[in-house]
Structure 1
Amino acid sequence: MTDNFQYPIFEHWYKTTDWILDKCDKMPKQTRFTVSSRIAALTIENLELLTEAIYSKAKIPLLQKVNMNLEKLRIFFRLSKDRQYMSLAQYEYGIQELNQTGRMCGGWLKECKE
């Protein structure tokens, strides 16, 4: 049995997920069925994909999907900043966390390909 919290990327994304979901909850109500719901869905999907990657032998496609979701989240974060659903400081922090997760995912992908 593997403990997900032994994986630094999982631990990092878990904390990031908590932060992102908190921001989604505080977005204007009119975004609940559009931007904030897509951000929340992609964020939770990444948590699921990372869990699957920990337990799967076929990690590469899962990690590639994580990277694609991170790109989508970057776009939604930018849109949220531009539409003032989040502050510039929140945007910068969120992007920093997305980028850190991307670096960790890229390192894991590189390790899997070797």
Structure 2
Amino acid sequence: MIVYGYTALRQFPKSEKHTLAADIKQSMYRLLSLVITTNKKYYKKTTMQELDVELDFLRSLVRLSMQLKFLPFKKYELWAGMLNEIGRMIGGWLKSIRQQ
């Protein structure tokens, strides 16, 4: 998803490369960091909740970039599908943690 995000962010206007595009990149890296952190921790529930919040924030930023016409709808669809799949994985992970 990060690799696809980088290719999609290349076409943003120069005026947005250091604002919205930078925020999206930062959110993608934070998401990756939280996944690694959650995997390493013994008590995962609070970090999983942070992970879920960060995913929602990233979804909002990607949706905003599509609404502002910085991202074509086709690329938005593909990226949103990747984010939804990550959301399903996080949901399954949360469910397994709650059952323990």
Once the 2 structures are TM-superposed, how far is the Cα of residue 102 of structure 1 from its aligned partner? 0.5
Instruction: Provide the C-alpha distance between the structure 2 equivalents of 1:59 and 1:21, rounded to a whole number of angstroms.
Output: 29
For 1:57, what is the secondary structure of its paired residue? Answer: coil
Counterpart residue type for residue 76 of structure 1: L
Name 2:85's counterpart in structure 1. 100
Indicate yes or no: 2:44 matched with 1:56: no
For 2:18, what is the secondary structure of its paired residue? Answer: coil
Higher RCO by CA contacts (8 Å cutoff, separation 6 or greater): 2
Instruction: Provide the C-alpha distance between the structure 2 equivalents of 1:58 and 1:21, rounded to a whole number of angstroms.
Output: 32
Identity %: 26
* 1:16-75 deviation digits (Å, cap 9, x = unpaired): 111112222332111122211111001000101101111111211122111111111111
Q: Which runs of 4+ in 1 moved over 3 A?
A: none
Please report the TM-score for the alignment, with normalisation by the length of structure 1: 0.81
Indicate yes or no: 2:70 matched with 1:110: no
Instruction: Provide the C-alpha distance between the structure 1 equivalents of 2:15 and 2:25, rounded to a whole number of angstroms.
Output: 15
Instruction: Provide the C-alpha distance between the structure 2 equivalents of 1:95 and 1:37, rounded to a whole number of angstroms.
Output: 18
What runs of 5+ residues in structure 2 fail to find an aligned partner? Answer: none
Q: Which deviates the most, 42-51 or 18-27?
A: 18-27
Name 1:81's counterpart in structure 2. 66
Task: Name which of 15, 18, 30 aligns with 1:30.
Answer: 15
Q: Number of residue pairs matched?
A: 99
Instruction: Provide the C-alpha distance between the structure 2 equivalents of 1:69 and 1:29, rounded to a whole number of angstroms.
Output: 25
- Whether the 8 Å CA contact 1:67–1:102 is kept in 2: the answer is yes
Please report the TM-score for the alignment, with normalisation by the length of structure 2: 0.91
Instruction: Provide the C-alpha distance between the structure 1 equivalents of 2:94 and 2:31, rounded to a whole number of angstroms.
Output: 15
